[in-house]
Chain A
Amino acid sequence: MKVEGLRRTFPGNISVLAGLDLDVAPGSFVALLGPSGCGKSTLLRLVAGLDRAEAGHVTFTPTLERTPGERAPIAYVFQDAHLLPWRSVLDNAALPLELTGVPKAERQAAARAVLEQVGLGDATERYPAELSGGMRMRASLARALVTHPRLLLLDEPFAALDELTRGRLDDQLRALWRKLGMTVLFVTHSISEAAYLAERAVVLSRRPARVVLDRTLELPTERTAALRTEAAFAREARLLNEALEQGEHW
C-alpha cells in the first residue's frame, strides 16, 4: 500500500493531513501512533475509501479491486464494536458476507468458523446486549475477518477495554495475523500495545500529521506477556515515547 501526498482539510480550514506519504508492505503489521486528533483515523478512513482526500492518493499493489469470487478485500474495525444489536452474534459475524451476496448456509458456516477462531464458538446465538465488552469486540473482529480481507484496518479497537481483556485480545489479534497473513494497519494511543503487536511503528506528529518516526521494531516474532518486561521491549517503548513527545511540539 502506498500513500502519496494525502491531503485532507475539514470545515473551518482544519488541515489534518497535508501531504502525507507512507508505504506499507503486503502482510506487514503496522501500528500508527500519534496525538489525539492528529489524523490517524482520517488516514484509515481514506485508505478504506470511506472519505475523499482533496489531493494525493492511496494505491495498492497488487490492486485491492475485488477479484472475481472475492468477498471484500478491506475490513475495518471501529473504536467501539458497533454490532447490530438486533442480530445474534452469528448473524453479525455473517453480515459482510450477506451484504456481498453469499448464500445463507455458506455465510453461516464461514461465520461459525471465524467465531470459533476468536473464541466465541459458544456464543453464536447470543445478542450483543448479552455480551461483555471484550466479547463484543471479539465479535466485531470476527465480522471483519469473515471475508478473509487482504487489508485489515483497526481504529483503536481495544481502547475501551480493561487491561486484562485488552492484553488477551492483543494476543489473539497477533495470532490471527500470523495465521492469516493479511496486512494490518492498527491505530492506537498505547505505546505498549503498539510495541507488543506490530512489526513496524509509525509515529505521527500533531496535525497536520507528518511522520516523526517510522521504525521496524527490533523484537522477536514470538511475543508473550513476558516480552513486556524485557529490555528490548523497554527500549522500543522509550523510542516510541520520545517520538510521540517530539511530535507534540512539531
Chain B
Amino acid sequence: MNRSTLRAAVPPLVALVVLLALWEGAVRLLEVPRWLVPPPSAIGAVGAHEASALLGGAITTGRSALVGFGLSAVLGVLVAVLLASSRMVERALYPYTLFLQTVPIVAIAPLLVLWFGPGPRAVAVSSFIVSLFPVIANTLTGLRSVDPSLRDMFRLYGARRLATLWKLELPAAMPHLFTGLRIASGLSVIGAIVGEFVAGFAEGSAGLGILVLGAYRQLRTDLLFAAVLAASVLGLVLFGAVSLTGARLLRRWHPSAQGT
C-alpha cells in the first residue's frame, strides 16, 4: 500500500472508529435494550459466532445476485442497442422499460414464485428485474452521445451498420455502460435479498434475506445487524469488482478512470 492510498484510507477509518465508539458508549450509557439497538461489540461477537452461516448466506445471495446482474448486463446492452437503432423504436419501446424502474418488486415477488418456483431462480429473476433499468438507460445515453463527426467519418469510409456499432458506438458508450453497471451491481444485491424475503425458501443454504427474516422473527437484532452488514459488504464487493473492471478498461482513454 503506497503512501497516498494510506492517506486516503485514514480519514474514513478514523471516522468509523469514532462512530462505533460513540454508538457503543451511547448504548451502554443509556442502557438501550439489546433487542432494540445492540452495541457494535455484540454485533461483532455474533458475527464471529455465526460466521459460517453468514458466509454461506452471502455466497447463496451473491450467486443469485451475480446471475441477475449478468442477465441485466447482457440483456440491458442488447435492449439499449435495439432502442438506439432508431428513434421510432426508442419512442415505441422506451416508455415500457420505465416499468422496470417503477415496478414494486415486493409486490410482484409472489408472481415470480408462481412462475419460477421458490428458490434461487425466482431470486435471480427478482435481482435481474431490479438491476436492468440502469443498464438500459445508461447504455442508451452512451450510444446516443457518439460524436456526430465520428459518425460522419464512419459514413465517409462506407462503414457498415455492424462495424459502426462495434467499432464506434459500443466503445464510445463504455463509460456510460459502466456507470449503469455500477448502479446495477448494488441494486442486484438488493433485488436478490428482496426476492429471498418472498421466494428464498428452498432446500440448500439460506441466503442473507432468509437470515435477516429469521433474525427479525426471533428478535435477534444483533444477528440482523450482522446479516445486513454482510449484505452491504456483498454489494460493495460486487460494486468494487465492476468499478475495477471499468477502471482497467477505460484507464488509458477516459478521464473518469484516469488516476484510479
Binding site for B on A (CB under 8 A): 45, 48-50, 72, 74-76, 78, 80, 82, 84-86, 95-96, 98-100, 127-130, 147
Contact = CB atoms under 8 A, between A and B. Distances in A.
17 contacts: A49-B156, A72-B156, A78-B152, A78-B153, A80-B149, A85-B253, A85-B254, A86-B171, A86-B174, A86-B250, A86-B252, A86-B254, A95-B157, A98-B167, A127-B253, A128-B253, A130-B252
Contacts, number: 57
Contacts of A76: 152-153, 156
Interface in B219-260: 250, 252-255, 258
Interface in B132-182: 147, 149-150, 152-159, 163, 167-168, 171-172, 174
Contact of B158 (A72, A80, A84): A72
Nearest to B252: A127
A130 B154 CA distance: 24
Nearest to B159: A99
A146 to B, nearest CB: 10
B163 A99 contact: yes
B42 to A, nearest CB: 51
A121 B118 CA distance: 62
A25 to B, nearest CB: 23
Nearest to B155: A50
Given A86-B253, A129-B253, A100 B152 contact: no
A113 B16 CA distance: 58
Given A82-B150, A127-B252, A129-B253, A50 B156 contact: yes
A129 B167 contact: no
Nearest to A51: B152
A15 to B, nearest CB: 22
Contacts of A128: 253
B156 A84 contact: no
Contact of A96 (B157, B168, B172, B250): B157
A72 B154 CA distance: 12
A159 to B, nearest CB: 14
Nearest to B255: A129
Contacts of A99: 154, 157-159, 163, 167
A206 B156 CA distance: 28
B58 to A, nearest CB: 35
B147 A82 contact: yes
Nearest to A78: B149
Contact of B149 (A49, A82, A96): A82
B257 to A, nearest CB: 11
Contacts of B149: 78, 80, 82
Interface string B98-125: 0000000000000000000000000000
Contacts of A86: 171-172, 174, 250, 252-254
Contacts of A45: 152
Given A50-B152, A86-B253, A129-B258, 19 more contacts: A48-B156, A49-B156, A50-B155, A50-B156, A72-B156, A72-B158, A78-B149, A78-B153, A82-B147, A82-B149, A82-B153, A84-B167, A85-B253, A86-B252, A86-B254, A99-B154, A99-B163, A129-B253, A147-B157
